Amino acid sequence: MKFVKFHGLGNDFVIVDALEESGLPENREELPGLARDVCHRRFGVGADGLILIKKSDKADIYMQIINSDGSEPEMCGNGIRCVAKYVYDAGIVPRRQIRVETLAGIILPEIITDDHKAAMVKVDMGQPGLERSDIPMLGPAGRVVGEPLEHRGEIFRVTAVSMGNPHCVIFVDDVQAVPLYQLGPELEVHPAFPRKANIEFVQVLNQGEVIMRVWERGAGYTMACGTGACAAGVASCLNGYTGRKVMVHLQAGPLEIEWSVNNHVYMTGPARKVFTGDYPLE
């Protein structure tokens, strides 16, 4: 199986062009095992997720992503930037504006070029889901903004946002002091979230900047999360900490998030090719 390794601010993916590659499992039930093997950082290529580029009847391509634990999320912000750069550079979709079908609907990344090369990718991530049922999260109807959530006797003030996948944003004074490896996996499966949740801890620096650390549903700790950065930007604005445009600082660099007046969230950031390879399927 020929693949290319990409990362978006350290959130890394094994991308396979399933339009050309033969020999991939035809049975969808076999893909979780393949993803777990490929993404293993000791016995495989090593990645946060496996991405398959497939044919779409509704868009230019279909992006299927399987997390490193074998689960299939609805969307991945860093992943879609990597896919957009790959298909543009490879000439699969030669236009700067690309339509990508995902489980969260059709997402619209745009290539920002530098000397005719893809330099950055700006993605129209669509409208955030803010109603409790959009997340989904148990409880009465309405938005979840700074709502108390009890866990092991401690109260967390949470803001819930769906970016096609569920996010729980918690504002803290110091993100580095958060025991992420303890709280992340526990809050991910909190009973309030019937489909689990991505957990973001966010520290506000000023009206235009925040720092974020994330525990991703199905992938665990990752250096960056695109949909999580979008959720953090929306949540920061909802709580009055920032304006509608915010720089979200992650471990390997920032993502620019804008919650536009048209209610769409725009994410701009880099995507980098690391290497190509051939993974044995037998």
Residues 173-211 pLDDT 10s? 999 999 999 999 999 999 999 999 999 999 999 999 999
Q: What is the pLDDT of residue 244?
A: 98
Beta strands 198-206 and 209-216 are: antiparallel
Q: Is the peptide bond before 254 cis (omega within 30 degrees of 0)?
A: no
Taken in order 219, 66, 123, 125, the sign of the CA dihedral is negative
Q: What is the dihedral of CA 180, 253, 158, 259, to 10 degrees?
A: -160
Model confidence, pTM: 0.91
Confidence of residue 25 (pLDDT cuts 50, 70, 90): confident
CB atoms within 10 A of CB 146: 15
Name the nearest CA neighbour of 96 among 82, 80, 108, 78.
108
The question of whether 76 is a catalytic residue gets the answer yes
Name the nearest CA neighbour of 178 among 214, 149, 145.
214
Name, in order, each residue with C-beta under 8 angstroms of 67's C-beta and a sequence gap of 6 or more.
35, 39, 48, 49, 73, 216, 217, 218, 219
Residues 9-22 pLDDT 10s? 999 999 999 998 87
Residues 121-138 pLDDT 10s? 999 999 999 999 999 999
Which of 39, 76, 168, 230 is an active site residue?
A: 76
> What mean pLDDT, rounded, does the chain reach?
95
Which of 39, 82, 168, 225 is an active site residue?
A: 225
